[in-house]
Structure 1
Amino acid sequence: MAPSIKDEILEIVATVIEKEAGDISLDAHLVQEVGADSMMALEILAALEKKYHIVVPEERLKEMTTVNKIIQMVETARKRG
């Protein structure tokens, strides 16, 4: 079975911030609770844009605070095409 979009995004986030996917709560604040920084956020954004062939404006970076919010953002961008 193919991984879900949630699992794919969680794996991207985990890889960039060098943590195990299982150690990251979907609702944990990525900067305050997980230890991500702004450069990691840019790296996550670039990986998502490449994987899903979407464009997310950089000003939306500040909205990428949790994995759940990133999932919502990707799903919205994919629907817009």
Structure 2
Amino acid sequence: MENLKEELRNIIAEVIEEEDFADNDDFVMNLGVDSMMALEIIAQIEQNYNLTVDEEYITRIRSLNEVYDLVIELKDLKVEDQPANV
């Protein structure tokens, strides 16, 4: 799971063009992330992890820790939605 956090850090760093940020730095207040950057982060996550991030989750994406928690939650939901092998 720690690899996932590093992968997410790399995605975020690439989009915001900033590599030096803490796991709990607020994207807007500390890093100057705007809505277009947030959408790009979401698009990269959807593409890299084959997930769908609903618009309602956008406001939850305020730090690396929150992005990490969201991706874990969505991955778990995706597994639950898969039909059981019979």
Residue 58 (structure 2) pairs with residue 61 (structure 1): yes
Highest Rg: 1 or 2? 2
- Determine what percentage of the aligned residue pairs are the same residue: 35
User: What letter corresponds to residue 69 of structure 2 in structure 1?
Assistant: Q
Q: Structure 2 CA distance, aligned partners of 1:59 and 1:44?
A: 15
Question: How much has 1:38 moved relative to structure 2?
Answer: 0.6
1:38 to 35, 39, 42: 35
Report the equivalent of 2:14: 15
Deviations 1:5-52 (A, max 9, x none): 0000000000000011xx110000001101111100000000000100
**What letter corresponds to residue 19 of structure 1 in structure 2?**
E
- Greater helix share, 1 or 2? 1
Q: CA deviation at 1:57?
A: 0.3
SS at the partner of 2:51? coil
How big is the alpha-carbon RMSD for the aligned residues of Structure 1 and Structure 2? 1.0
Instruction: Report the residue type matching 2:18 in the other structure.
Output: K
TM-score, structure 1 length as denominator? 0.91
Instruction: State the shift of 1:59 in Å.
Output: 1.8
**Deviation beyond 3 Å, 4+ runs, structure 1:** none
Residue 38 of structure 1 aligns to which amino acid in structure 2? S
Q: Does 1:51 align with 2:48?
A: yes
TM-score (norm 2): 0.86
What amino acid maps onto 2:76 in structure 1?
K
Structure-2 separation of matches of 1:63 and 1:70: 8
